[in-house]
Chain A
């Protein structure tokens, strides 16, 4: 094809936008980010920075007083009853994490495997398992408090009705069962989301790998441990990290079911509840905001450090693979 002179002139006639205009467009796009940035800074960054600053100060009521360095942190770890409550709540957070991994994640992975196989009504099951997530955590907590009520709750009534009266139990009133009961409720609430993440991971595994393994004579069990789990590891890691963060941030469900003191007698107390009591629950303490901020900083550091370490090992493993 031969270009005519006229065509060349037309091409030349549409000049490229100047560099300044291109820059301006770029900046204009940034402008659209400003409202979101404003809210992010106001509601996320500022409170975190404020907590960092407040943790180094003493408070009289709600008014900031003197700079006291690390004293709030030292008191949290050394002074009674703060040190005991901290240790107890921290331990509960660990149990909460392990319990959630063992119940929610293991079950969610099993269900995701089942749904990803060719069973009938897989979309229906996906929707059903995800449904609890549509409810507010507070509503879930309130509903389960009613269901688990020892005298007229649905669970104990059902157990009595089917002849298992001896199994009826004050699930939330017995320190031996209260925390585990909350973990189970949390697992019920969050299992749908975990299933969706695992399903996405499982569906990304190429079918050919399984076919090749089958030709090589691999059993279903072998395929699960040699192909499915290793290849779904990114999804598993992400869910484990999210579960860790969720377990250390857990507040609403425990608060809704057991109140701000994590009763009975701190048997369901977690760090976020302890923080709430320190910072807001007992303004009469007169020194609570500084200590509460110190606890918030510690909580932030625990979550950040654990997440960073997990991500580091996860990335390294990904590179090795």
Chain B
């Protein structure tokens, strides 16, 4: 169980206001880390930092064990423009292979096979030729998850994966993520504001709370003052 991501003494500011200070945590292989926190606690800033879209003011984020950015799959929050985007499910999933193409302009047969495999894995074969915009919210999330798996199968980074989904579909989504973590041994990092249900599936919790952030296993979290506040 080696470490995959190691963050030490991170500090981020947003529009000249410090949002994250002195934050250290690690993500190891097979972990299911849930990052929670109130609005404004720096979840999106940290997300950008972990994805390499924002450099920390101080401290370091290092990818260990030869993990490269190309092995990280990412499930971003949906944008309004995407909801009515005219693209077939297969086109969307296949676009996850782009990062492994480099400058080569077209997808290979192997890329298409990987896309097919992930479509099968997430049980959306019958949607394959359908248009993304005609799908329900839960189906769209599955498509984006399949795309994320095409991009990287070592670590999945999920940003608010259940926002806007109804309770039943939300539960299905959590189960699916748990299965990917347990069965396929994919390391999960999930950002969520839905503390109570997100933490149920996680092995580790990072609760961002300005000066007094918490990082530890879910068990430890339940006993901590922050965890007690929500679960006590």
* Binding partners A and B: no
